Structures are given as C-alpha cells and as structure tokens.
C-alpha cells in the first residue's frame, strides 16, 4: 500500500489499541492479518454498507471462517431485539470465545456490534471499521457500545474497547451528503469543547470538507480522533472529563427521542443540541453573542439544522431526565465557559434552562 | 447485632469489595447504610424469595426509593427476555445511573440481576444478597453475570463486580433440602480443585452440613468464598487460573442443556460433572480409583446425583462444544492431577474423552 497510514493510540494500559486512518485500508490483507487475530470473523454490517464494502473486506479476511450478519439499515434497528437475533446467529454457528467481531458501518452498527461483542460469552474481540464520518471521528473510538430502548437512547450497553479501529477514508466517498454533514457536527463539537484553533480551522475549511477534499477530511478526522483518544485515555468510564464529549447530546437526545430516532440523524440532533448548549452558556454570561453567531453560521454552512422541533419545553426536559447524565435527580449539563472550553455541571439556574428550552422547543 | 460478621475481601484494586458472612445481616439497617450507597435501590428477586425476605430487606433499606422487580422462579427465566422486562421497569421508573441493584436470591437472580446492572446505562452499582447455599459459596462472588440462550448456558453476559456481597446465613434455614444439597456440590468442588484438607473436612462434616449446623455451614461458606476470592483476585477475567473453578461444569452444562435447564439444578449437574471429570482424570492415570470412590461416596452421602442422563456421548460432546471453554476448535477441560489439584488443558487423548462420555452418557 503506497498511501500513508496515520496511526493514533488510545492509551488504556493492557487494553490500549491503535486507530489506523488512511485510504484503501479496508481491502488490505496485510493490515487485517496484523490487527485481527483469530480464525473466526463475525462480520456485522447493514444492507447498504454490505453491498458496498463486504466483498473487499471479506477478500482481506482471506483464509478465515466468516460468519456474516447483515442487518436492516437505520437507528430504529439498534435494539435489544436486533442484538438478540445476532446472538442467535453466533450460537447457531458455534462461534467461540476466540472469534473477532468486525463492526463494518456507521454508529448504529458500531454500537450494536460492539454491544454484541461485549456480551457474547461475556466479551469477545472487536474491531471497528467505520464507514461514516460520524463513526470515523466519534462512535468507533472509545469503547462505548449500546442499544436503544423506546424510553431512551443507549440505555442498555457496555464499555468494551476494540482491539483496533481501522478507518478507511475511501469509504467516505460513497457516504450520502446528509450523513457527511451529520458527521461534521461531531467534528465541530471537538473544536467547541477544547480547541478554539481547530474550530477556526473548521470555519476556514468547511467548504473543502463538504467537497470531500481528502486532505481536509484526513486532518479533521485525525484531529478529532486525537482529541477523543486523549480524553478516553484519561477517563475511560466517564467518571469525569469524558462527559465533555456529550456537549449538545443531552439536548440532542431529547430531539431524537421525541422523533422516534428516525426523522433526525444523530449528528443532526447533536448539531442543534450544540447550538442550544451554546445558547444556554451565552444566557449564563459565559460567552459573547458573537460566539453563538459563529457557531450558528458554521452549522448552517455545514448544512446542519439549527432549529429544534417544537415539542415544548416540558416534554424536552422530560426526555432529558431519562438521559444517563442524571445524578441525584438533577440533569447534569455540558456547557461552555468559552469557545474551546467546556465544563460538566449540575450548577446552573433552573430558570435559564427553562428559558433556553422554551426558546428552542417552544 | 451481636452475631459475628466474617469478612473477606475480593482484591481487585479500585474494584475490590467485601464479602460479609453472618447470621441476621439481611435486616441490618446499619449494614446497608454502610455498604449500599445511593438513594434508589432496585430490588430484584423471585416470587419465592420475595415472600420470605423482601420485607426485612426493604425495612433495612429504610429511607430510599425502592423499585421492586419480582420475577418468576426458575432457571428457565434466566433469559434475555427477562432482562429486557427488567430494563423496561427501570426505564419506566426513570432509574438513574447512581441507583444500586440488589440481587436478592440464588444464582439465577444473581446472574440475571447482575447482567441487568452491568448493562443498564452501561453499568450501575450492584450488591449481591445470596439466599441459596450455591449463591453463598459461588455465584454471588466474582462478578460473572449472564443469561442463558436456548443454545447454551450463560452465553450472553458480562463481568461486573458487585460493590459488596452480603451473605446472611440465616437465609439458608428456609432453603429446600434439594437446593441445600445442590450447593454442597460447589463446596465439594473447591476441595477437589485446590484443598485436599478441606475435602477431607467435608467428608468428616457432611452430615453436620446436611443437618444445617450453623458452625459447619459457616466454615464451609467461609472457606469456599476464601478460595474463590483468592482465585478471582488473581485472574478476574478468566485468562487462566479462574477456569479451574469450572471443574465439572463443562460436563454439567451438557446435562443442563440436554434437559432444558429445568430438570436438573445447576449444582446437581455440577455434582455429576465433577464425577465425570474425576473419572476422566482417573482414566488418564492421574488419580487412583480410591480418589474416584471417595468422591462418589461423598456426593452420594450429600444426596447428589452421580448418574448422567443417557443422552448419548455424541450429543453430550455436541453440547460441550457450545460451551465457552472452546479454544481454536478444541474443548478445553478442567481435569485433576490429584485430589486437591486441578488443571485446565486441551491436551488429553480424544479416545479417553470418548470412552468417558460413553461410560456416563451412553
């Protein structure tokens, strides 16, 4: 392979693992020989991704027994029932503890396949092979796995770190426009929480990213994974700092819950959630209105939604309360102290939250 | 409380926890105040246990919100479907991440409630309150949680250490005779795998144990937990030594699978499995026939079954292959090198396994 592979490491002692970022990785037999142990490979993907990438990946897995599970596409299938169906296939095929699950797809497949790998026989090996921008920069890294419950997103899950993340940037060429934009929301999030310079770089390069410039995408993915890897390395189980990565997500979860996980893509809900969190931070006096305007402009240039559905503040708060960040009955929020500096806190004025929710949710 | 509490520690760095063994612990408000943090308690038990012990436990949990889930009794309910129903209750009650799951019951409840605690919101606190002898000496300690699949026992699960094990020996007074005997199988196992002296003590005290002598039971429970705590402390994730605790279990799993998890109690299947494993070790020349006879006599005095169902060797092997101990296609077995010294190995003559299975399963 002539193309460069950029490698990052998620540093978690005996569970450390590499993130390999590059073009054309998905079909590389050497790469898979080096990073995927075992003789049995459980390839989990969805109908859309399988049609595009299962063949080259299976060729790269030459010589192994491959058990393939192709699920329907969509967040509405990220359920315990889907996981149960995958367990049925694994058991019917006598898949043993030394098999490796390969999660080929976006965040839904990564989360679901990761949860299956976490629970099958109390945990087997997992390799994440993200094919969406969101999965490249966020969901494939850090070991969070889960399925949804009708009453809340990601309510049933596990921490289960992969053995490797193999991020083939070529897979982004086939990504639908809307999903590319959704992935940009998580990238913008990294700038907001801890890197004002990266935020400015995104403002300068948003058009190149939308045009899928390989160089621009490679940089955005590398920097995003670097930030995430550092935070996860310091706080794997989200005892503290890692919760910063949820900026915009508590508000976003309310949007996704209210719309049944189908109308809004996760990244779209996060985009609007980022704006709501930033607006609340502004209302608390932490940010000038210019920062809020810069974020709104960037999201709009990225083609991301900035208007929440008018579900009403009460219902939004209700959904937020089911979120995992509730502690001693109080919703903890990720808010900004500055553009590029986020903080997790339960210490905010309730009327400000109320005003913010009313402004955005009606 | 005037009675002595015997305390052991499972030493797992920041996840270390105490095993508290004593009479009358279940109703002790001070004990629960000291060992169960949080304001919400999720009490999971079954109909039989709840009728006996839910009231004193709820009194001991005074001042907290208690979410009670009472499941039907029996191993056939240790399924992903039962876990799913518990998740529904937790989400409907807005149970947050700082809640504690209390598993009140035997191995089935401990495994299932433990799995729920492991996966709910990616893991919440768990306290094991065993009420059967088997749970006192085995399943409540060590963090193994799971549900069964029709194709195999404990195929879906997680490692999730409790915050504490509170073993009230008074709860054994109400235990049905058959379940008391089943628990003795696991106690005998500890003698076989690593303590010939304890095995001899069991031979001398089996009648006292069957008569539920508090002193004899307390010693047997303490020594069993001590052995298990030491092994788990050295090998939490069963990379090596911990697999010794599965002596008799691979053969036993075949019995349980073949009989649909309902006819045989787990401990009964383990008892027969211990005899089969010891017989195979004897056939390999590791043990004199006198050792095999001693075990058979002890199991029979304990009222435990020593004859496997005649399902045929081929079917037994088939079930064993689904077991989690398969590695590179070969079933790894726990065998004895001596009475009091077990070893995990894939290195055994296939004809000896075949002969052993034929002798026991037909």
Q: Return the HEC string of A158-206.
A: EECCCCEEEEEHHHHHHCCHHHHHHHHHHHHHHHHHHCHHHHHHHHHHH
The pair of three-digit structure tokens given for residue A167, joined into one six-digit string: 């991020």
Whether residue A248 is found in the same domain as residue A167? no
Whether residue B130 is found in the same domain as residue B51? yes
Return per-residue pLDDT of chain A as tens, 362 residues: 346 899 999 999 999 999 999 999 999 999 999 999 888 999 999 999 999 999 999 999 999 999 999 999 988 899 999 999 999 999 999 999 999 999 999 999 999 999 999 999 999 999 999 999 999 999 999 999 999 998 888 999 999 999 999 999 999 999 999 999 999 999 999 999 999 999 999 999 999 999 999 999 999 999 999 999 999 999 999 989 999 999 999 999 899 889 877 789 999 999 999 999 999 999 999 999 999 999 999 999 999 999 999 999 999 999 898 766 666 678 899 999 999 999 999 999 999 999 999 999 99
Among B119, B122, B165, B166, which Cα is nearest to B142's?
B165
pLDDT of residue B2: 41
Contact yes or no for A120 and B149 at CB 8 A: no
Identify residues of A whose CB sits under 8 angstroms from chain B CBs.
39, 80, 84, 87-88, 91-92, 94, 96-98, 118-123, 144-146, 149, 151-152, 154-159, 237, 321-322, 324-329
- Domain contains A229: yes
Domain boundary, last residue among B143, B174, B205 = B174
Whether residue A152 is found in the same domain as residue A285? no
Whether residue B217 is found in the same domain as residue B331? yes
Whether residue B47 is found in the same domain as residue B161? yes
- Domain contains B164: yes
Domain boundary, last residue among A174, A199, A232 = A174
3-state secondary structure of B320: helix
Domain boundary, last residue among B137, B156, B174 = B174
Among A131, A216, A143, which Cα is nearest to A171's?
A131
The pair of three-digit structure tokens given for residue A50, joined into one six-digit string: 């399988």
Chain B residue numbers with beta carbons less than 8 Å from the beta carbon of A237 are 123
The pair of three-digit structure tokens given for residue A222, joined into one six-digit string: 């590398």
Q: Name the phi and psi angles at A261, rounded to 5.
A: 65, 5
Q: Evaluate whether A136 touches A144 at the Cβ level (below 8 Å).
A: no
The pair of three-digit structure tokens given for residue A237, joined into one six-digit string: 């189980």
Chain B residue numbers with beta carbons less than 8 Å from the beta carbon of A154 are 122
pLDDT of residue A242: 96
Whether residue A140 is found in the same domain as residue A208? no
pLDDT of residue A150: 84
Alpha-carbon gap: A45 to the closest alpha carbon of chain B (Å) = 20
Contact yes or no for A98 and B328 at CB 8 A: yes
Whether residue A181 is found in the same domain as residue A280? yes
Q: Evaluate whether A280 touches A333 at the Cβ level (below 8 Å).
A: yes
Q: Nearest 5°: CA angle at B241, between B244 and B355?
A: 35
3-state secondary structure of B45: strand
What CATH number should be reported for the domain holding residue B75?
A: 3.40.50.1970
Q: Evaluate whether B45 touches B106 at the Cβ level (below 8 Å).
A: no
A228 is catalytic: yes
Alpha-carbon gap: A97 to the closest alpha carbon of chain B (Å) = 6
Q: Evaluate whether A31 touches A57 at the Cβ level (below 8 Å).
A: no
Structural domain total, chain B: 2
Whether residue B128 is found in the same domain as residue B37? yes
Whether residue A151 is found in the same domain as residue A192? no
What are the 10-residue block averages of pLDDT along chain B, 362 residues in total?
A: 80 95 94 90 97 96 96 92 96 93 97 98 97 97 94 91 97 96 98 98 98 95 98 94 96 90 90 98 96 98 97 94 71 95 95 97 96
Burial, B343: exposed, middle or buried (Cβ in 10 Å; 0-12, 13-18, 19+)?
Answer: middle
pLDDT of residue B4: 86
From B91, B155, B327, residue closest to A149, measured CB to CB: B91
pLDDT of residue A261: 73
- Domain contains A112: yes
B160: closest chain A residue by CA: A122
Predicted TM-score of the model (pTM): 0.92
* Torsion of the alpha carbons at A224, A226, A227 and A229, rounded to the nearest 10: 120
Residue with tokens 């383990």: B270
Chain A residue numbers with beta carbons less than 8 Å from the beta carbon of B154 are 122
Burial, B58: exposed, middle or buried (Cβ in 10 Å; 0-12, 13-18, 19+)?
Answer: middle
The three-state (H, E, C) secondary structure of B158-213, written as one string: EECCCCEEEEEHHHHHHCCHHHHHHHHHHHHHHHHHHCHHHHHHHHHHHHHHHCCC
Q: Name the strand (E) or helix (H) holding A70.
A: strand A65-71
Whether residue A111 is found in the same domain as residue A20? yes
Q: Which residues of A143-164 are buried (b: 16+ CB within 10 A; e: fewer)?
A: bbbbbbbeebbbbbbbbbbbbb
Contact yes or no for B97 and A159 at CB 8 A: no
Q: Interface pTM (ipTM) of the complex?
A: 0.90
Whether residue A201 is found in the same domain as residue A89? no
Whether residue A118 is found in the same domain as residue A225? no
Residues 6 or more apart in contact with residue A72 via CB below 8 angstroms: A46, A47
pLDDT of residue A323: 65
Burial, A343: exposed, middle or buried (Cβ in 10 Å; 0-12, 13-18, 19+)?
Answer: middle
- Domain contains A1: no
- Domain contains B1: no
Q: Nearest 5°: CA angle at A232, between B11 and A172?
A: 140
B173 is catalytic: no
- Domain contains B123: yes
The pair of three-digit structure tokens given for residue A173, joined into one six-digit string: 């060429």
Q: Evaluate whether B91 touches A322 at the Cβ level (below 8 Å).
A: yes
For residues A75 and B39, what is the distance between their CA atoms, to the nearest angstrom? 33
- Domain contains A347: yes
Domain residues for the domain of A210 are 177-361
Q: Name the strand (E) or helix (H) holding A101.
A: strand A100-105
What CATH number should be reported for the domain holding residue A214?
A: 1.20.1090.10
Residues 6 or more apart in contact with residue B40 via CB below 8 angstroms: B64, B65, B66, B67, B95, B96, B98, B99, B100
Residue with tokens 């921008």: A133
Q: How far is CA B72 from the centre of its chain?
A: 19
For residues B289 and B158, what is the distance between their CA atoms, to the nearest angstrom? 39
pLDDT of residue B323: 65
Per DSSP bridges, beta strands A152-159 and A144-149 are: antiparallel
- Domain contains A136: yes
Per DSSP bridges, beta strands A333-338 and A341-345 are: antiparallel
**Angle, to 10 degrees, between the axis of helix A289-301 and the axis of helix A196-210?**
20
For residues B10 and B17, what is the distance between their CA atoms, to the nearest angstrom? 5
């Amino acid at each position: 392979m002539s193309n460069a592979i950029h490698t990052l490491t998620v540093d978690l002692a005996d569970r450390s693992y590499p993130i390999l970022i590059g073009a054309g990785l998905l079909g590389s037999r050497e790469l898979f020989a080096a990073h995927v142990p075992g003789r049995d490979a459980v390839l989990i993907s969805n109908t859309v991704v399988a049609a595009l990438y299962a063949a080259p990946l299976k060729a790269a897995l030459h010589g192994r027994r491959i058990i393939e599970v192709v699920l329907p596409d969509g967040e509405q299938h990220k359920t315990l029932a889907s996981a149960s169906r995958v367990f049925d296939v694994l058991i019917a095929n006598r898949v043993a503890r030394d098999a490796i699950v390969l999660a080929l797809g976006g965040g839904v497949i990564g989360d679901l396949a990761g949860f299956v790998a976490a629970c099958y026989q109390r945990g087997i090996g997992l390799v994440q092979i993200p094919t969406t921008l969101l999965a490249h920069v966020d969901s494939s890294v850090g070991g969070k796995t889960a399925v949804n419950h009708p009453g809340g997103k990601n309510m049933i899950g596990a921490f289960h770190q992969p053995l490797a993340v193999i991020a083939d940037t070529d897979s982004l060429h086939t990504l639908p426009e809307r999903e590319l934009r959704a992935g940009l929301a998580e990238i913008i999030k990294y700038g907001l929480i801890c890197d004002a310079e990266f935020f400015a770089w995104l403002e300068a390069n948003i058009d190149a990213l939308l045009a899928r410039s390989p160089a621009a995408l490679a940089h955005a993915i590398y920097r995003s994974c670097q930030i995430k890897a550092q935070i996860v390395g310091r706080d794997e189980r989200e005892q503290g700092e890692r919760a910063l990565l949820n900026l915009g997500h508590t508000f976003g979860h309310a949007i996704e819950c209210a719309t049944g996980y189908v109308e809004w893509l996760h990244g779209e809900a996060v985009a609007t959630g980022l704006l709501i969190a930033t607006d609340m931070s502004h209302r608390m006096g932490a940010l000038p209105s210019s920062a809020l305007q810069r974020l709104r402009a960037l999201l709009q240039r990225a083609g991301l939604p900035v208007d929440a559905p008018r579900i009403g503040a009460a219902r939004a708060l209700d959904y937020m309360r089911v979120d995992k960040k509730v502690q001693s009955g109080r919703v903890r929020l990720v808010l900004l102290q500055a553009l590029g500096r986020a903080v997790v806190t339960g210490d905010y004025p309730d009327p400000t939250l109320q005003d913010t929710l009313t402004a955005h949710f009606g």
